[in-house]
Structure 1
Amino acid sequence: MQTQAVGTLRQLIETASDIVVLTGAGMSTESGIPDFRSDNGAWQDETLAEAMSDTYLHEQPHAFWQKFKQVFLREEFLSARPNPGHLALAALEAMGKRVRVFTQNVDGLHQQAGSSYVVELHGSIRRAVCPMCQQRYGLADMLAEPVPTCHWTNVKGAECGFVLHPDTVLFGQPVRQLSEAVLAAAHCDLFLVLGTSLLVDPVAELPNYALAAGHPVAVVNLEDTYIDGRAAAVVRGKIGEVLPLVVAGEG
């Protein structure tokens, strides 16, 4: 591990009281969740990727849920637990720092780890909503039926019955709370990029708002990113190995 880069990252975190964090797939892969965009990822199957779209959900809701469960509600997701990287971010918050997490992941592991300020830019696999009556449901409800439907009943005892929509952002739908992420990036002491190669817009542009406002950007990622040349610190390594060292004041 690059001792100098880790030391610089530690200093940046120590001196920052308001840290904005952007996390991507690399944060979750360390908990055993597959990266959809990797060479063997789900999105290499074009038919599967097309099925995870807003259009497919509306046109074929029953078939959609079969494929959605195949992609998102399989064992790797359901059994995943926060890794040391997630826990390190929660530890920073427990130390009194303001830590705002904006994640592209849909697994809910940041919240499980104890982070209190988490914005799920791509939604969550752990929630669903009825498109008709807006009744909300949790993961247990989604798993209880092959195709989850709304069981809300009106005063006459009639059941709603509509097929639920998952809370995840599907292809064809906009990223959520992007304006909040932009404002946070422009008003922080440190912008921390964890586990994302910054290849997909508009989220990939967020570090630029921090830099434009004069705030340092630090990157922990196994692969290169376009922002590396302008970052105050770049560490090539696993988040679950790097962050605990930094938070513990080592390295």
Structure 2
Amino acid sequence: MSNTNDEASTLVEAIRTAERILVIVGAGLSRPSGLPTFREDPGFWGNRTTQVLTKSTFDVDPISVWCPFERLRQLALLALPNCGHIALAELARAKPGVLTISQNIDDLLRRAGHEESQLVDLHGPLFMISCSHDACSFNSQNMDAAPTVPGLVIASWDATDPSIVLPHLSSDDVPRCPCGSGILRPGVCWYGERLPKQALQRINDWFESATYVDLVLVVGTDRAPYLQEAEAAGADIAFFNISEDDLEADMDAWIINDDASNSLPALIGAALGLHIRSTTAT
């Protein structure tokens, strides 16, 4: 289905009548809030995302990993939830059967007021720091404006630009964990690491709590975990901020190409009888 007025109205009705809704969120939701995505802003990670976001790279050169993560953390501290985040929070508040799986690490859905019990952070929070030693379970939150690594001052330029000389820091400058066995690392899930067991269990519990799923909203991502499971449970599917080229040719779904910070408030607001502004929240 394409984005026409008639089809938008059918999606509004589907949202209105649905009881069990799975929402799968990716970085495209937060881009209107000023946060970069891997696809549209590859330079933020030095065009080598899969190399930077790994434990093996951190073990060899922790500063090269901390630079982009610290810059993203600083951006996320200043960012505001946009009205797409707020619309999804309103949806969860109105419908206890909603489960939102967020692949984002920016915490903007939570800051928009999303119900905690209906939100699963699949890749962990950006503001959490943990120990690099596998046997240590240390975690601590860092919401301070000061950099996690002292001396790692993030300027306005892209810290991953190879022409920019990074701060002269080494692994010895990264604070050590209180356990004494490792250094502090971003508390997120990197490529090649196992997803958090508790997050996976909460998702499995949601699927097992009923035999059906009414609707899936895929927002700002072409990588939608659990989409096949939801479709097998009878769900209709709607995609927001995704190109039709990224979909299988025979997939029957609503495709809403408008900015999700505009389309989500309009459609969810109409379904719930609410007025949700289509501008960045303040």
What SS is found at the alignment partner of 2:81?
coil
Instruction: List per-residue Cα deviations over 1:156-196 (Å, max 9, x = no partner).
Output: xxx73731121111122234445654664674221111111
Q: Which residue is 1:61 aligned to?
A: 62
Whole-angstrom distance in 2 between the partners of 1:206 and 1:151: 35
Contact 1:103 1:120 (C-alpha < 8 Å) held by counterparts: yes
What SS is found at the alignment partner of 1:143?
coil
Q: Which residue is 1:118 aligned to?
A: 119
Contact 1:218 1:231 (C-alpha < 8 Å) held by counterparts: no
Q: Structure 2: which 5+ residue stretches go unaligned?
A: 151-172, 274-282
Count, aligned residues: 237
Q: Which residue is 1:73 aligned to?
A: 73
Q: Which residue is 2:259 aligned to?
A: 238
Shift of 1:213: 1.9
Relative to structure 1, the CA distance from residue 33 to residue 134 in structure 2 (aligned partners, 3 Å threshold; closer, same or farther) is same
Shift of 1:106: 0.8
Q: Which residue is 1:83 aligned to?
A: 82
AA at the equivalent of 1:238? D
Contact 1:85 1:243 (C-alpha < 8 Å) held by counterparts: yes
Shift of 1:148: 5.0
Task: Provide the TM-score with structure 2 as the length reference.
Answer: 0.72
Contact 2:241 2:256 (C-alpha < 8 Å) held by counterparts: yes
Root-mean-square deviation over aligned CA pairs: 2.9
Task: Using the aligned pairs only, state the percent identity.
Answer: 29
Task: Provide the TM-score with structure 1 as the length reference.
Answer: 0.80
AA at the equivalent of 2:69? F
Q: Answer with 182-191 or 49-58: which moved more.
A: 182-191
Q: Report matched runs for 1:170-249 at 5 Å.
A: 170-176=190-196, 177-178=199-200, 180-181=202-203, 184=206, 187-198=212-223, 204-224=224-244, 225-227=246-248, 229-249=250-270
Q: Answer with 85-94 or 126-135: which moved more.
A: 126-135
Whole-angstrom distance in 2 between the partners of 1:44 and 1:8: 42
Relative to structure 1, the CA distance from residue 41 to residue 183 in structure 2 (aligned partners, 3 Å threshold; closer, same or farther) is farther
Q: Which residue is 1:37 aligned to?
A: 39
Relative to structure 1, the CA distance from residue 195 to residue 56 in structure 2 (aligned partners, 3 Å threshold; closer, same or farther) is same
Q: Which residue is 1:145 aligned to?
A: 149
